Structure 1
Amino acid sequence: MAAWGLLFAVPSFVWATGGTFGARSTVAPSLVELARDGVPWFLAVLWVTGLLKVFGALIGIGLTRLRGPRISRFLVFCGGGATVLLVWHGGLFVLHGVLVEAGAVVVEPDLAGLTRWYLYLWGPWFVVGGLAFAAATTRYLRRHDDRRGLRLHGAVGALGALLLSSVSTVTGVG
């Protein structure tokens, strides 16, 4: 999972430094323009996103060994949240792509190819990462003595992530 997070962070850092390698055909043109034009707020978003992905890799590493109570609660909270955020986000990409491919949703012709990238690459990539967090967190819980208490922290993290994801989807921010 750590390798997944680090690999996932690379495009964010490349795009934050002004590069557009891989972005032109796989990311919305409006986002490519923001990166290419060096729009400060968008570059900050890319840096923060990249750092969050590295943080996710560190959480993945943390879930490989039993830790003390405080760190365990934090790891399980983050693992539950990451699971929901990634599966939800990727699932929305896949669902939208399936609806476009089925003709139930119409997109501009120049965005049809981009929709396929979200359907076949980005959506599944997010879902796989979320499932990896779910597996790592579940494995961590099974090995820990305080499973019941830790499950509560994981559930709170998951519900918080679901609320955050829902609000960002409804407001059009995410």
Structure 2
Amino acid sequence: MLDGIGVPRWPAYGAAVWALLFAAVSFYWALGGTALLDTIGEAVTGPALSGDPAVVAAVWLSALLKLAGVPGALALAQRWGTLFPRWLVLLAGWGVTALLCLYGGASLVQQVLMVAGVVDVSAAFRPVLLWHLFLWTPVWLAGGVLYGIATFFFARATRVADAAPR
């Protein structure tokens, strides 16, 4: 269905690379890596560095969920993605898009308001506010945009393919 109809695949491949890189950072942290950990915030880094089992488990779960985004993204561009019911692929694609964009968008608004002095910043979050505003929040939004564009193209391509005369 997706072959030969001119569907741009770069958004899905971009989303897959995004998910893989984002998962790699979490796997690195789960395995004890510390680079960029100080950009997250003391509420997470303190317990993580002390080996708090709940935090370590949450980081592993986060890494696995992000890694699951790789085949999810590829299903939006590869022929094998059409082996699944169209509604299921679209539900997953739009669902991931919504979650990433809502989280990133809400974070962006909150962080801009913090920088502007409209919303108070906790002492624990103040040192990492700009890291979130200029690194982590755009990362979440970039994933949402890539998934959204990929899902749009999948929806359009499979609708056209389903409607084509047989």
Classify the TM-score, shorter chain. 0.7 to 0.9
Matched, 1:138 2:137: no
Output the CA distance in 1 between the equivalents of 2:46 and 2:94. 34
Partner residue, 1:43: 56
Please tell me whether the aligned partners of residues 19 and 36 of structure 1 are also in contact (alpha carbons under 8 angstroms): no
Matched, 1:73 2:87: yes
Change in CA separation of 1:102 and 1:63 when aligned onto 2, cut-off 3 Å: same
Q: State the Cα distance separating 1:147 from its structure 2 match.
A: 8.5
The alpha carbon displacement at 1:145 in A equals 3.5
Aligned partner of 1:169 in structure 2 is: none
Which of 30, 34, 45 aligns to 2:43? It is 30
**Is 1:107 equivalent to 2:156 in the alignment?**
no
Q: Normalising to structure 1: TM-score of the pair?
A: 0.77
- Residue 86 of structure 1 corresponds to 100
Find out whether 1:96 has 2:110 as its counterpart: yes
> Structure 2, unaligned stretches of length 5 or more?
1-14
Structure 1: stretches of 5+ with no match in the other structure: 149-174
Q: CA RMSD in A?
A: 2.0
Cα offsets for 1:42-85 (capped at 9, x unmatched): 11111111111111111111110244463433321111111011
State the Cα distance separating 1:17 from its structure 2 match: 1.5
Q: CA deviation at 1:132?
A: 0.6
Aligned residue number for residue 24 of structure 2: 10
Matched residue SS, 2:119: coil
Instruction: Letter of the 1:138 partner, please give it.
Output: F
C-alpha deviation, 1:32, in angstroms? 0.6
Higher relative contact order (CA 8 A, sep 6+): 2
Match of 2:6 in 1: none
Contact 1:87 1:127 in 2 (8 A): yes
Taking only the aligned residue pairs, the percentage that are identical comes to 32
Q: Is the 8 A contact 1:20 1:32 kept in 2?
A: no
Q: Using the alignment, how far apart are the partners of 1:124 and 1:136 within structure 2?
A: 18
Counterpart code for 1:22: L
SS of residue in 2 equivalent to 1:38: coil
